[in-house]
C-alpha cells in the first residue's frame, strides 16, 4: 500500500557533489527538441511559480514551421534566458542589478534596476521584458485576490527575466535538496515538463544528467557565433538504437530570406520597444551637442573661433545634451533611482556616458566664466568622449543586429561630427545674419573667415562624404553582417532621403555657402546635416531595431516529403537495447 | 542577495499556510494529482503532487490546463449566486433577464418542477422521459458531480441521450467496435514497448494528457518511429518521424491497401503471425453460401482441419485450420430471425479466403487514386510495419511469456467516427490481427471498457460468449425483444444494436438526432417533444454540437432548464434557473485512480484520490453533492437517493455484507463531507480488506491511496488464451445478422429513413468513396461541389480540450503560442492564390452556415483543406465571445445523410473561403435559398423532403 509520502534515497554522486562546500556548480539546462511537443506546460508553470503578469513569459515554447508543402517540418523550441557563460546583458547594466553568480546564474536585483532597458536590447535571446504597470488577466476588472496576493510590485518598471528559479535552487539547496533531482529545488519549467524535454543540472558534475546527455548526444547552443556560450544546450537527435542508425542524421535548417522576412515566423525577431523615440532623442540631441562642442573646440584651437563664442556655443550644446538626457530620463522605468546608473563604470558604457556629462558640464561652466583654454579643452575632450560613449552603447547592445555591427560606432561618431559641423554653420550663419543682416553677412564671408565657419563647412563636406560612404557600406553589408531582412527593409526605405538630405543637400549647401558665398548655404547645409543625422539615427534606433530572433540550426530528422525520416526496413533487430537489458 | 527570491511563495510569520491535495480531471486523460498552496484563505499557487511521482506513469506531473485552475476559481465572470430567468421568451437575441435569488428560492422553484413532473408521470405520452440530463464529454463531469449519479439513479427514467458534442462526435466507431473486438473503448499503443506506430489522425500529443506525452516522448527518445497520416500537420504529426498528408476521409482506402500489400503482395503466409490468425481469430471459420458461419448440428461454427481433411467444430482439437481454399461441408447457416439454411456437401470457404478475395481489389494504386497517398508510400509503410512486427518473438511480463509485437495503429477523431469509421476501425484491428499484435506487449491495446461488464475490469470482461468469441450484449433486434418504442429520444436501443445498454450507451447512441427530430418529425416514429425538465452539467451544446446555432434554437424550445453554472454561456442563456456549483478547489470528491484507462493511462497501481476542499467558495456557490441532496429532498426521493449512494452510485459501495458497513442512514439528508468521509473509509477497507481504514481527514493529508495493479492485466491476451477465445475478426457474422434483423424490424414499422445506415452492416466492409458523401450533400442544396472547394476540419487543442477554459485569459495566452489557435489555418500558397494574407479576416461558408476569423497561413496543411482548432464562435461566454475565433461547429450540419449505422457523424464539411471585406458579394446561404427546405436549419434535405 502506498500513499503520499517521500522516502529518503541513498545519496548519489551528484547529490554528494552538489552539497560539497568546495564545489561550485555551473547550472544549466538541456532541452531535447525531439521530446518537446509544444504543450506550454513549462510556460504556464513558470508563469505560475514566478507570478508574471499577463503576456510576460520568461519561458515559452515557439512553434516553428519550415519548408514548403509538402516538404514541411514543424518543430517546437523552448526559449528564454540562456544564462550565458558570457552574458551580454551583465556588462552593459549601468547599475549592477543584472549580475552573474559564481554558479553561472544570471540574476536580477529588482531593488537596484532602474529599468533603462539596456540589458533587454543587449540580450540576443529576447529573454527580457519590462512591465510598467500592474494589470490583471481580466480586463475591466480589479485584480483577483490571488493576483493581488502574488503579483510583485517590485518588478514594475524594471527588467525581468528567467532566473532559472534561483529561489527554488537556493531554498532547495538550503534544505539539502539537489537541483535537477528534487523537483522542489529544480526550476519550475523543468519540474513541470511532461515530456522530460527540459533537464536542469550542474555542468561541472560529470555525473549530472545534463552532463551525461550532452556527452552522449549532439547538441547546439543558440547563437553560438555571438560568443555568449549559452548554458541551455539543445539536444536534437535521438539515441542510436538497432535499426535506427540511418535516422540520427539531422536536417540543417535552411531558413530562407523570405521566411526571415515573415513577421509571423516565430524565429524572426520582433522590433524592440525598450528604446523608443525618447531614447533615440539622446542619440539625436546628444550626438549633435557633443559633435558640435568637440568641433567648436577644434575650431577654437585651429581657427579663429573667439573664446566668448565658444563659451556660449558650448553652453547651448550642453543644453541640447541635457534635453537628450532628459528624454532618456523620461524613458527609464524607475526614475527616482536614476542615480544608480553611475555604479558600473568598470563595464557599462552607459555609466561612462553619465560620468562624462558632469565633466563636460564643468568644462562648459568653467569656460563660460573663465574663457580659459583648459576649461575649453576639458569640455571639448569630454564632448568627444560623450560621443564615443554613445557609439559604444549601441555597439554593445548585442541583441539588436543593426546596432552591433562594427560600422555603428564609426557612423555615430561621424554623424555626430557632421551634425556638429551643421550646427556650427547654421548657428554661425544665423548669428551673422542677425548681427549684420543677410547681404552684409555674405560680404563679410567673402572677405574673411568668420569664427571658423568656413572651416566647419569644409569639414562638413568631408564628413558628409564620409557619412555617405559609411551609410552605403552599412546598408550594402547589412545582410552579410546578419542584419535581418525586416530591419534592412526599413534601412533601405530611408536610404534615398538620407542621401539626398543628409549628404547631397549638405554638400550643396555648404558648397554654396563657401563659394557663393551665402549665409543661406551655411544655414541650409547645416540644418540638412542635422536633419540627416536625426533621420538615420531615429530610423536605426527606433524603426529598424529588430531583435536577433531565435535560431534552430539543427533539427531532428522528421517532417514530410523530402524532410521525413528515412524508412527502416531490413535489419531492424527488434526491441531496443535497454528493453533487452531490463529483461 | 537579490530580491529574486520573491518569485515563489513567500513565508511571513503569522500567515496561515496550508497545502491541500486535489486532482485535475478537466480532460479524459486525468486525473492529474496536485497540491494547492492556500495562504490566509487564498489559493495562491498549485503544483504537481510529486509524492506520487514514482507510481504515476507520467512522473506525477500536471498538464497545462491544471495550472489554470486558480484563475478559473477567481474568475470575476463567475455566476456567484443562484439566478432565475424573468423573461419567459427564449432565444439567442432575447435577454434572459436573470435576477439573483437565494438558494432557498432556487430549490423551491426546482422542487416544484420536480414534483409537478413526478405527479404527471416520469415518462410522457410518447414514452420518453420527462426529465433529461446532459453532461460534458468523456465522463469528465462525473469526477466533479459528486452524488449526482445517485440522484439520477433514484429518479427513475431520465433521458441522457441529448448529445452535447460528446459520444457521436468522439472516437465513436472505435468506442463501439473496439469494445466489441478487444474490449477497447479507447485504443492505445503499448507505448513502453512499441517500436512503430502508424497513426491515422489521432492527435496523441494533444489528447493523451501527461501520461501520454510522457510515454510517447520516452518512446521517441529510445528510437520508436511514428508515421502520422493526416491532412494537416498537427502537433502529433510534427513530432512524428513522418507526416503523410492524406485526403480527408480516405483513411480507410489507405488502410485497406496496407492489408492488400501485406496479405496479397507480400504473402500472408510469409509475413503474418499465422498461428495467431489460425487460433486467435475467426479466419478459419467456414462461411456458407448465404454468408453466415457453417455450423454443426450443435450450432458450433465449423473449421476445416487440413491435417485430416474434415470440418470440425471450433472447440474440437484442430491441428491445421485451413485458411484458404474451398471445401465441401455439410451443416447449416443461421441467418436473421433464426432463419436456418441446411446444406449438404456444399462448397464453403474459410473467412480468410473471403478476406483475400475481398481485399484483392484494394491495391496501393487504387488507394493512391482515392487517398492521394502515393502507392510507393503505402507499400513502404506496410513493409515497415511488417519489419517492425517481430512476428515470432516473445517477451516475459511478470513471469508469463507473451508474444512481443511492437507495432500499433491509431485512429483519430473524424477518421473513426461517422461514415468510414467502421471501415477504418475494422482495417486497423485487422492489421493488428494479421501480425498477432492485438492485446500483446508492444501492440495495439484497449484501455478501458464502458459498454461491457464488469466496468472496472477489462480483463474481467473477457467472458466467453457465442461462437468462441467474447460475450457482447447487442441491443436486441429479434421480433419479440426489439425496443420498438424508443425509450429515450435518441433511440439507441432501437437503432443501434452495437451500442449495447450500459450506463454509457445513451450518450453513445445517435445523440445528435434528438435535436434534429425535435424540428423534423421522422416518418412512422413516435412524436418527439422536448423534455419537461432538462439539466445540463459542465456542457455547452450550443457551441459544441454540429450545427451549433441550430441546436441553440432547439434549446430555446425547452420549457424548463436547470443549468449548473460556472459563467454565463451559450447554453445557460436559455436556462430558467442557474445554480452555481462550487468548483474544483471549493468542493470535495473521491475518485478512482490508476489501473488502465484512457488515454494512455497504464499503471502499475490502482486506488483512490481526493479533491479536497481547499478554500471557501468564492461566491454564494454550493458543493454539487449538497445541491443534489437537496434535489432529492425536493423531489421526495431522499431514501432512494441515499440507497443509491450506499450502493456505490457516487463511486464505491459504502457497505458490503460481512465486510464493512459505512452506509448512510436513511431519512437523513447527508452533507457532502459525510458522504466522502464514509466513502474514504469504505474504499480504504476494500483496498486492504479492513487492515487500514482511513477517513476523510487522512485522505486530505495524504491525497491518495494505492495498491498494486499487475502489468499483465494491461493485456487481455492471457485471458483470451486461458479461456480459449478468439477475436471476432475479420468476419462480422453476428453484427451483420443483427443489422439484417434490424432492417426487417424497421421495415415492419415503415421506417425508411435508416436504409443507408442498414447497408453498412456487411460481413466485411466494402470501401465506398466517403468524401463523396459530403460533396453529394452540397449537391442536395442545388449547389456545385466546386463552389465549396475546401474540406473544413478541426483538431484538438491541448490547451483547451475539454476544460471549459475558453473564458480564461491565461489559457488563451498559452494557446496562442501554438500556431492555428487564433483563426482558420489555410495552406499558404493556396491562400495567396485567393489573395488572402496572414491575419485577414475571412468567412468560412458551407451550405448551411458561416463562421469568421483571421486567416493563419501555414505550409503544413493540404491545399484543399482548412482547419479550425477547438470549438469557438462564442457569443455569450465572457471573454471567449471577444476572441473572434471561427468554429467548425458553425458550418457542419446534423443530418441523417451524414449519420452512419452506429449513429455518429463526423467533423468535416465542404466550405468556401473569402475575405470578409468581400462580404458584399456574398450570396444567401444555400440552405436559405432552397425554397421548401428554407426552414430546415438542421437540414437533411432528403429527410426534409420525405417528411413533406
Closest CA to A20 of A295, A155, A248, A204: A204
* Chain A CB contacts of B692 below 8 Å: 1
pLDDT score of A105 more than 90: yes
- What are the CA-CA distances from residue B544 to residues A481, B452, B540, B571, B802 (Å)? 52, 28, 6, 10, 10
Residue B946 pLDDT greater than 50, yes or no: no
Do B495 and B445 sit in the same domain of this protein?
A: no
Using a CB-CB cut-off of 8 Å, the residues of chain A touching B380 are 567, 569
Which of A3, A63, A240 minimises the CB distance to B817?
A63
Residue B185 has pLDDT above 90, yes or no: yes
Residues A251 and A281 in one domain: no
- With a cut of 90, say whether residue B910 has pLDDT above it: yes
Give the Cα-Cα-Cα angle B190, B194, B197 (nearest 5 degrees): 100
What percent of chain A stands above pLDDT 90? 83
**Mean pLDDT to the nearest integer, A543-560:** 91
- Residue spans of alpha helices (H) in B204-250: 204-207, 209-221, 235-238
**The total number of structural domains that make up chain B:** 3
Cis peptide before B347 (omega within 30 of 0): no
Q: Is residue B517, in this structure, part of any structural domain at all?
A: yes
Radius of gyration, alpha carbons of chain B? 28
Residue A72 and residue A164 in one domain: yes
Q: From chain B, pick out residues whose CB is under 8 angstroms from the CB of A70.
A: 245
Q: Tell me, what CATH number does A194's domain have?
A: 3.30.70.20
User: β-strand B601-611 against B704-708: which pairing, if any?
Assistant: antiparallel
How does pLDDT run across A211-243, given as a tens digit for each residue?
A: 999 998 889 999 999 999 999 999 987 654 444
Residues A224, A301 within the same domain: no
Nearest residue in chain A measured CA to CA from B32: A194
Measured between alpha carbons, how far is residue B166 from residues A75, A225, B94, B448, B702 in Å? 31, 52, 28, 17, 34
Please state the separation of Cα A91 from the chain's center in Å. 12
Chain B nearest CA to A327, separation (Å): 29
Q: What is the pLDDT of residues B859-905, one digit of tens each?
A: 999 999 999 999 999 999 999 999 999 999 999 999 999 999 999 99
Residue A574: the pLDDT is 53
Q: What are the pLDDT digits (tens) for B282-308? A: 999 999 999 999 999 999 999 999 999
Co-location of B794 and B885 in the same domain: yes
Residue B933 resides in a domain:
yes
Q: At what angle do helices A349-370 and A307-331 cross, to 10 degrees?
A: 150
Residue A14 domain-assigned (yes or no)? no
Could you say which residues from 456 to 475 on chain B have a Cβ atom under 8 Å away from some Cβ of chain A?
Answer: none
Mean per-residue pLDDT, A323-346: 94
Strand partners, A61: A78
ipTM confidence score: 0.96
Is residue A4 predicted with pLDDT exceeding 90?
Answer: no
Query: Looking at the structure, do residues B192 and B157 belong to the same domain, yes or no?
Result: no
For residues A221 and A281, state if they share a domain. Answer: no
Q: Is residue A69 domain-resident?
A: yes
pLDDT in tens, A112-140: 999 999 999 999 999 999 999 999 999 99
* Phi, psi for B126 (deg, rounded to 5): -90, 0
Residue B405 makes CB contacts below 8 A (sequence gap 6+) with B273, B389, B390, B391, B393, B435, B436, B437, B440, B441, B442, B443
Q: Which residue in B has a C-alpha nearest to residue A145's C-alpha?
A: B42
Q: Give the tens place of pLDDT for each residue, B215-262.
A: 999 999 888 999 999 999 999 999 999 999 999 999 999 999 999 999
Confidence (pLDDT) at A582: 47
Do A227 and A125 share a structural domain? Answer: yes
Mutate to test the interface with A, among B39, B227, B238, B603 (most CBs of A within 10 A): B238
Provide, as residue numbers in chain B, all residues whose Cβ is less than 8 Å from the Cβ of A142.
76
- The pLDDT assigned to A11 comes to 86
Least confident of A6-15, A165-174, A433-442, B342-351: A6-15
The answer to whether residue A354 is domain-embedded is yes
**Residue span of the structural domain in which B243 resides:** 172-459+720-748
3-state DSSP call for residue A156?
strand
Q: Which triple of cell numbers denotes residue B395? A: 517477451
pLDDT band at A437 (very low <50, low <70, confident <90, very high): confident
Contact A184 B195 (CB under 8 A): no
- Look at residue A233 and tell me if it is in a domain: yes
Asked if the structure places residue B816 within a domain, the reply is: yes
- 546608473: which residue's cell? A341
- Does residue B753 lie in a domain region? no
Residues of B in contact with A37 (CB under 8 A): 205, 213, 216-217, 235, 238-239, 798
Q: Clarify whether residues A44 and A93 are in a common domain.
A: yes
Q: Does B690 touch chain A (CB under 8 A)?
A: no
- Chain A residues close to B819, C-beta within 8 Å: 63, 65
Residue A376 CA neighbour count, 13 Å, CB half: 21
Query: For chain A, how long is the longest CA-to-CA vector?
Result: 107
Instruction: Give the cell for residue B332.
Output: 447449416
A195 vs B213: CB contact, 8 Å cut-off? yes
Q: Do the beta carbons of residue B528 and residue B837 sit within 8 Å?
A: no
CB contact under 8 A, B243 and A72: yes
Pair B799, B811: CB distance under 8 Å: yes
Considering only CA atoms, which of B402, B464, B436 is closest in space to residue B711? B402
- Which of B555, B580, B605 is the last residue before a domain boundary? B580
The minimum CA-CA distance between B381 and chain A, rounded to whole Å, is 8
Please give the distance of CA A573 from its chain centroid, rounded to a whole number. 51
Do the Cβ atoms of B238 and A76 come within 8 Å?
yes
CA gap A403, A396 in Å, rounded: 8
Contact A57 B813 (CB under 8 A): yes
Tell if the CB–CB gap between B241 and A247 is shorter than 8 Å: yes
DSSP for B9-56, please give it: ----TT--EEEEEEEE-SSTT-PEEEEEEEETTEEEEEEE-GGGTTTS
Res B4: pLDDT = 39
Separation CA B823–CA B843 (nearest Å) = 11
pLDDT at B1 over 50: no
* CB contact residues (below 8 A), chain B span 875-904, against chain A: 879
**Quick one: cell of A252?**
540543417
- The alpha carbon of residue B862 is apart from the nearest alpha carbon of chain A, in Å, by 8
Picking from B241, B382, B600, B706 by the largest number of A CB atoms within 10 A of its own CB, the best residue to mutate is: B241
Assess if residue A579 is contained within a domain. Answer: no
Distance of CA B549 to the CA centre of its chain: 22
Return the pLDDT at B814.
97
- Digit-coded pLDDT (tens) for B827-854: 999 999 999 999 999 999 999 999 999 9
Nearest residue on chain B to A192, alpha-carbon basis: B61
Task: Choose from A145, A188, A236, A240 for mutation: most chain B CBs within 10 A.
Answer: A145
Nearest to B817 among A61, A239, A575 (CB): A61
Evaluate if residue B825 carries a pLDDT over 60.
Answer: yes
* Contacting residues of A for B222, CB less than 8 Å apart: 238-239, 241, 576, 578-579
Contacts of A49 in chain B (CB under 8 A): 7-8, 45, 47
Which chain A residues are within 8 Å of B798, Cβ to Cβ?
37, 39-40
> Sign of the C-alpha dihedral, residues B678, B682, B687, B689?
positive
User: Which residues on adjacent β-strands are paired with residue B304?
Assistant: B311
Interface of B with A in 52-81 (CB under 8 A): 52-53, 55, 58-59, 61-64, 67-68, 70-71, 73-77
CB contact under 8 A, B688 and A1: yes
A514 inside domain: yes
Kindly state whether residues B129 and B204 are assigned to the same domain. no
Residues whose CB is less than 8 angstroms from the CB of residue A516 and which lie 6 or more positions away in sequence, other chains included? A442
Q: Output the pLDDT for position A2.
A: 57
**A244, closest residue in chain B (CA to CA):** B223
Residues A351 and A458 in one domain: yes
Of B3, B74, B205, the CB nearest to A111: B3
- Is B783 contained in some domain? yes
Residue B742 lies in a domain: yes
Is residue B556 domain-shared with residue B413, that is, in the same domain? no
The Cβ of residue B608 has, within 10 Å, a number of other Cβ atoms equal to: 24
For chain B, positions 376-435, list CB contacts with chain A under 8 A.
380, 383-384, 387-388, 390, 393, 395-396, 404, 406
Q: Are residues A283 and A195 in the same domain?
A: no
pLDDT of res. B259: 98
Q: Are residues A249 and A301 in the same domain?
A: no
B490 with B529, same domain: the answer is yes
Select the residue of A1, A63, A574 nearest B705 (Cβ to Cβ). Answer: A1
Q: Are residues A293 and A373 in the same domain?
A: yes
SS3 B499: helix
Nearest to A54 among B238, B798, B809 (CB): B809
From the list A62, A191, A564, the residue facing B817 with the nearest CB is: A62
As a residue count, chain B comes to 948
**In terms of domains, do B729 and B789 share one?**
no
Whether residues A323 and A466 share a domain: the answer is: yes
Q: Is B402 helix (H, G, I), strand (E, B) or coil?
A: strand
Query: How far is B199 from B207, CA to CA, in rounded Å?
Result: 14
B213 touches chain A (CB under 8 A): yes
With respect to residue B631, please indicate whether it lies within any of the assigned structural domains.
no
Domain that holds residue A427: 277-543
Burial of A372 (0-12, 13-18, 19+ CB in 10 A): middle
User: Is-contact B584 B71, C-beta < 8 A?
Assistant: no
Same domain (yes/no): B343, B408: yes
- Same domain flag for B794 and B820: yes
Q: How far apart are CA A349 and CA A357, in angstroms?
A: 12
The pLDDT tens digits of the residues spanning B380-422 come to 999 999 999 999 999 999 999 999 999 999 999 999 999 999 9
Q: How many domains does one find in chain A? A: 2
CA–chain centroid gap for B826, Å, is 27
pLDDT above 50: residue B2 = no
Mean pLDDT of chain A: 92
Higher-confidence residue of B38 and A249: namely: B38
Give the three-class secondary structure for B768.
Answer: coil
Amino acid at each position: 500500500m502506498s500513499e503520499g509520502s517521500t522516502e529518503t534515497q541513498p545519496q548519489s554522486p551528484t547529490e554528494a557533489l552538489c552539497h560539497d562546500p568546495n564545489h561550485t556548480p555551473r547550472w544549466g539546462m538541456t532541452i531535447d527538441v525531439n521530446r518537446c511537443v509544444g504543450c506550454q506546460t513549462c510556460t504556464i508553470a513558470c508563469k505560475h511559480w514566478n507570478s508574471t503578469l499577463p503576456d510576460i513569459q520568461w519561458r515559452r515554447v515557439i512553434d516553428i514551421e519550415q519548408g514548403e508543402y509538402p516538404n514541411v517540418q514543424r518543430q517546437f523550441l523552448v526559449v528564454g534566458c540562456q544564462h550565458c557563460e558570457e552574458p551580454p546583458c551583465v556588462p552593459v547594466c549601468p547599475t549592477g542589478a543584472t549580475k552573474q553568480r559564481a554558479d553561472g546564474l544570471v540574476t536580477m536585483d529588482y531593488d537596484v534596476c532602474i529599468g533603462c532597458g539596456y540589458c533587454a536590447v543587449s540580450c540576443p535571446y529576447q529573454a527580457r521584458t519590462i512591465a510598467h504597470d500592474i494589470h490583471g488577466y481580466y480586463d475591466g476588472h480589479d485584480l483577483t485576490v490571488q493576483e493581488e496576493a502574488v503579483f510583485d510590485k517590485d518588478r514594475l518598471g524594471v527588467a525581468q527575466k528567467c532566473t532559472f528559479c534561483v529561489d527554488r535552487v537556493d531554498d532547495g539547496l538550503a534544505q539539502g535538496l539537489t537541483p535537477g533531482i528534487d523537483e522542489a529545488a529544480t526550476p519550475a519549467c523543468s519540474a513541470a515538463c511532461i515530456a522530460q524535454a527540459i533537464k536542469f543540472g550542474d555542468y561541472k558534475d560529470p555525473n549530472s544528467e545534463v552532463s551525461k546527455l550532452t556527452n552522449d548526444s549532439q547538441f547546439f547552443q543558440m547563437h553560438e557565433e555571438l560568443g555568449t556560450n549559452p548554458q541551455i544546450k539543445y539536444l536534437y537527435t535521438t539515441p542510436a538504437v538497432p535499426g535506427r542508425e540511418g535516422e540520427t542524421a539531422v536536417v540543417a535548417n535552411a531558413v530562407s530570406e523570405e521566411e526571415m522576412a515573415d513577421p509571423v515566423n516565430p524565429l524572426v525577431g520582433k522590433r524592440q520597444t525598450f528604446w523608443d523615440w525618447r531614447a533615440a532623442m539622446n542619440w539625436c540631441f546628444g550626438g549633435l551637442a557633443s559633435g558640435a562642442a568637440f568641433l567648436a573646440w577644434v575650431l577654437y584651437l585651429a581657427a579663429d573661433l573667439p573664446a566668448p563664442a565658444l563659451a556660449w556655443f558650448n553652453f547651448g550644446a550642453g543644453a541640447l545634451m541635457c534635453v537628450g538626457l532628459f528624454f532618456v530620463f523620461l524613458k527609464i522605468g524607475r526614475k527616482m533611482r536614476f542615480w544608480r546608473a553611475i555604479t558600473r563604470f568598470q563595464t557599462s558604457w552607459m555609466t561612462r556616458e553619465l560620468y562624462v556629462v558632469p565633466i563636460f558640464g564643468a568644462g562648459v561652466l568653467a569656460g563660460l566664466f573663465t574663457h580659459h583654454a583648459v576649461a575649453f579643452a576639458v569640455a571639448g575632450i569630454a564632448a568627444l568622449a560623450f560621443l564615443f560613449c554613445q557609439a559604444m552603447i549601441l555597439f554593445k547592445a548585442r541583441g539588436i543586429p543593426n546596432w552591433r555591427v562594427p560600422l555603428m560606432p564609426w557612423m555615430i561618431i561621424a554623424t555626430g561630427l557632421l551634425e556638429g559641423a551643421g550646427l556650427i554653420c547654421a548657428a554661425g550663419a544665423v548669428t551673422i545674419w542677425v548681427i549684420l543682416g543677410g547681404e552684409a553677412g555674405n560680404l563679410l564671408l567673402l572677405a574673411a573667415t568668420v569664427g571658423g565657419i568656413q572651416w566647419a563647412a569644409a569639414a562638413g563636406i568631408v564628413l558628409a562624404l564620409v557619412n555617405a560612404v559609411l551609410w552605403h557600406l552599412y546598408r550594402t553589408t547589412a545582410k552579410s553582417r546578419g542584419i535581418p531582412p525586416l530591419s534592412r527593409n526599413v534601412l533601405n526605405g530611408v536610404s534615398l532621403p538620407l542621401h539626398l538630405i543628409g549628404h547631397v543637400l549638405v554638400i550643396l549647401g555648404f558648397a554654396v555657402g563657401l563659394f557663393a558665398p551665402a549665409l543661406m548655404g551655411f544655414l541650409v547645409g547645416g540644418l540638412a546635416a542635422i536633419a540627416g543625422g536625426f533621420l538615420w539615427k531615429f530610423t536605426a534606433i527606433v524603426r529598424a531595431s529588430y531583435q536577433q530572433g531565435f535560431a534552430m540550426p539543427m533539427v531532428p530528422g522528421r517532417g514530410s516529403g523530402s524532410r521525413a525520416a528515412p524508412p527502416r526496413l531490413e535489419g531492424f533487430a527488434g526491441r531496443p537495447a535497454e528493453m533487452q537489458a531490463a529483461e | 542577495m537579490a530580491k529574486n527570491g520573491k518569485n515563489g511563495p513567500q513565508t511571513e510569520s503569522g500567515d496561515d499556510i496550508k497545502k491541500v491535495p486535489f486532482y485535475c480531471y478537466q480532460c479524459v486523460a486525468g486525473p492529474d494529482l496536485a497540491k494547492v498552496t492556500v495562504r490566509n484563505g487564498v489559493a495562491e499557487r498549485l503544483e504537481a503532487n510529486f509524492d506520487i511521482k514514482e507510481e504515476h506513469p507520467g512522473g506525477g506531473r500536471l498538464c497545462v490546463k491544471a495550472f489554470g485552475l486558480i484563475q478559473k476559481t477567481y474568475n470575476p465572470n463567475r455566476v456567484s449566486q443562484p439566478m432565475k430567468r424573468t423573461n419567459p421568451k427564449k432565444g439567442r437575441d432575447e435577454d434572459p433577464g436573470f435576477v439573483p435569488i437565494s438558494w432557498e428560492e432556487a430549490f423551491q422553484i426546482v422542487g416544484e418542477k420536480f414534483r409537478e413532473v413526478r405527479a404527471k408521470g416520469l415518462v410522457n405520452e410518447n414514452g420518453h422521459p420527462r426529465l433529461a440530463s446532459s453532461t460534458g464529454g468523456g465522463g469528465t463531469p462525473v469526477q466533479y458531480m459528486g452524488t449526482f449519479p445517485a440522484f439520477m439513479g433514484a429518479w427513475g427514467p431520465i433521458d441522457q441521450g441529448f448529445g452535447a458534442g460528446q459520444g457521436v462526435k468522439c472516437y465513436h466507431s472505435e468506442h463501439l467496435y473496439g469494445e466489441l473486438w478487444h474490449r477497447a473503448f479507447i485504443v492505445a499503443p503499448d507505448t513502453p514497448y512499441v517500436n512503430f506506430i502508424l497513426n491515422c489522425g489521432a492527435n496523441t500529443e494533444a489528447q493523451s494528457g501527461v501520461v501520454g506525452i510522457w510515454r510517447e516522448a520516452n518512446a521517441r527518445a529510445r528510437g520508436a518511429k511514428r508515421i502520422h497520416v493526416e491532412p494537416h500537420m498537427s502537433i502529433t504529426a510534427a513530432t512524428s518521424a513522418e507526416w503523410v498528408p492524406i485526403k480527408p476521409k480516405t483513411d480507410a482506402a489507405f488502410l485497406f491497401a496496407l492489408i492488400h500489400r501485406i496479405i496479397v503482395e507480400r504473402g500472408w503466409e510469409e509475413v503474418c503471425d499465422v498461428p495467431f490468425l489460425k487460433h486467435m481469430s475467426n479466419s478459419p471459420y467456414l462461411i456458407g453460401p448465404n454468408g453466415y458461419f457453417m455450423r454443426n448440428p450443435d450450432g458450433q461454427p465449423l473449421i476445416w482441419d487440413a491435417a485430416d481433411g474434415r470440418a470440425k467444430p471450433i472447440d474440437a482439437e484442430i491441428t491445421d485450420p485451413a485458411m484458404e481454399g474451398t471445401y465441401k461441408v455439410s451443416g447449416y447457416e443461421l441467418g436473421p430471425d433464426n432463419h436456418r439454411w441446411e446444406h449438404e456437401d456444399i462448397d464453403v470457404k474459410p473467412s480468410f479466403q473471403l478476406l483475400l478475395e475481398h481485399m484483392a481489389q484494394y491495391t496501393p494504386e487504387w488507394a493512391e487514386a482515392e487517398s492521394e497517398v502515393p502507392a510507393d508510400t503505402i507499400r513502404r509503410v506496410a513493409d515497415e510495419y511488417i519489419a517492425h512486427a517481430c512476428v515470432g518473438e516473445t517477451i516475459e511480463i511478470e513471469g508469463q511469456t507473451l508474444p512481443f509485437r511492437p507495432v500499433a495503429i491509431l485512429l483519430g477523431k473524424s477518421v473513426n467516427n461517422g461514415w468510414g469509421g467502421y471501415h477504418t476501425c475494422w482495417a486497423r484491428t485487422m492489421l493488428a490481427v494479421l501480425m498477432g499484435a492485438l492485446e500483446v506487449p508492444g501492440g495495439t491495446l484497449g484501455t478501458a471498457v464502458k459498454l461491457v461488464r464488469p466496468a472496472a475490469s477489462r480483463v474481467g470482461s473477457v467472458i466467453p460468449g457465442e461462437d468462441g468469441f467474447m460475450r457482447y450484449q447487442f441491443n436486441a433486434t429479434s421480433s419479440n425483444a426489439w425496443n420498438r418504442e424508443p425509450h429515450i429520444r435518441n433511440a439507441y436501443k432501437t437503432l443501434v444494436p452495437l451500442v449495447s445498454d450500459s450506463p454509457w450507451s445513451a450518450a453513445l447512441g445517435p445523440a445528435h438526432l434528438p435535436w434534429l427530430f425535435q424540428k423534423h418529425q421522422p416518418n412512422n416514429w413516435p412524436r418527439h417533444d422536448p423534455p419537461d425538465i432538462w439539466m445540463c452539467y459542465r456542457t455547452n451544446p450550443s457551441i459544441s454540437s454540429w450545427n451549433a446555432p441550430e441546436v441553440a434554437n432547439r434549446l430555446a424550445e425547452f420549457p424548463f432548464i436547470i443549468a449548473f453554472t460556472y459563467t454565463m454561456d451559450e447554453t445557460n442563456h436559455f436556462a430558467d434557473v442557474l445554480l452555481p456549483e462550487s468548483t474544483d478547489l471549493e468542493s470535495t470528491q473521491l475518485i478512482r485512480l490508476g489501473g488502465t484507462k484512457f488515454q494512455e493511462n497504464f499503471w502499475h497501481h490502482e486506488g483512490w484520490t481526493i479533491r479536497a476542499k481547499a478554500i471557501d467558495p468564492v461566491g454564494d456557490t454550493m458543493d454539487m453533492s449538497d445541491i443534489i441532496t437537496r434535489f432529492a429532498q425536493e423531489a421526495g426521493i431522499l431514501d432512494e437517493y441515499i440507497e443509491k449512494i450506499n450502493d456505490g452510485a457516487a463511486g464505491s459501495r459504502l457497505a458490503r455484507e460481512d465486510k464493512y458497513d459505512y452506509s448512510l442512514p436513511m431519512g437523513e439528508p447527508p452533507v457532502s463531507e459525510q458522504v466522502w468521509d464514509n466513502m474514504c473509509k469504505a474504499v480504504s477497507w476494500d483496498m486492504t480488506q479492513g487492515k487500514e481504514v482511513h477517513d476523510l481527514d487522512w485522505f486530505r493529508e495524504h491525497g491518495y491511496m494505492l495498491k498494486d495493479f499487475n502489468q499483465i492485466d494491461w493485456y487481455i491476451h492471457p485471458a483470451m488464451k486461458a479461456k480459449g477465445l478468439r477475436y471476432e475478426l475479420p468476419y462480422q457474422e453476428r453484427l451483420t445478422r443483427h443489422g439484417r434483423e434490424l432492417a426487417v424490424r424497421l421495415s415492419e414499422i415503415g421506417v425508411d429513413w435508416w436504409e443507408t445506415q442498414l447497408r453498412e452492416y456487411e460481413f466485411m466492409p466494402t470501401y465506398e468513396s466517403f468524401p463523396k458523401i459530403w460533396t453529394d450533400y452540397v449537391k442536395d442544396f442545388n449547389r456545385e461541389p466546386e463552389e465549396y472547394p475546401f474540406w473544413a476540419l478541426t483538431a484538438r487543442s491541448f490547451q483547451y480540450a475539454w476544460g471549459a477554459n475558453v473564458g480564461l485569459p491565461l489559457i488563451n495566452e498559452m494557446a496562442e503560442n501554438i500556431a492555428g489557435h487564433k483563426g482558420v489555418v489555410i495552406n499558404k500558397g493556396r491562400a495567396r492564390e485567393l489573395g488572402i494574407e496572414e491575419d485577414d479576416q475571412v468567412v468560412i461558408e458551407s451550405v448551411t452556415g458561416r463562421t469568421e476569423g483571421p486567416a493563419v497561413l501555414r505550409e503544413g496543411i493540404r491545399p484543399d483543406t482548412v482547419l479550425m482548432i477547438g470549438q469557438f464562435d462564442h457569443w455569450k461566454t465572457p471573454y471567449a465571445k471577444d476572441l473572434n475565433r471561427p468554429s467548425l461547429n458553425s458550418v457542419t450540419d446534423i443530418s441523417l445523410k451524414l449519420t452512419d449505422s452506429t449513429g455518429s457523424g463526423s467533423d468535416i464539411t465542404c466550405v468556401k473561403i473569402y475575405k470578409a471585406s468581400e462580404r458584399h458579394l456574398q450570396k444567401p446561404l444555400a440552405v436559405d435559398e432552397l425554397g421548401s427546405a428554407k426552414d430546415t436549419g438542421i437540414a437533411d434535405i432528403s429527410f426534409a423532403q420525405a417528411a413533406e
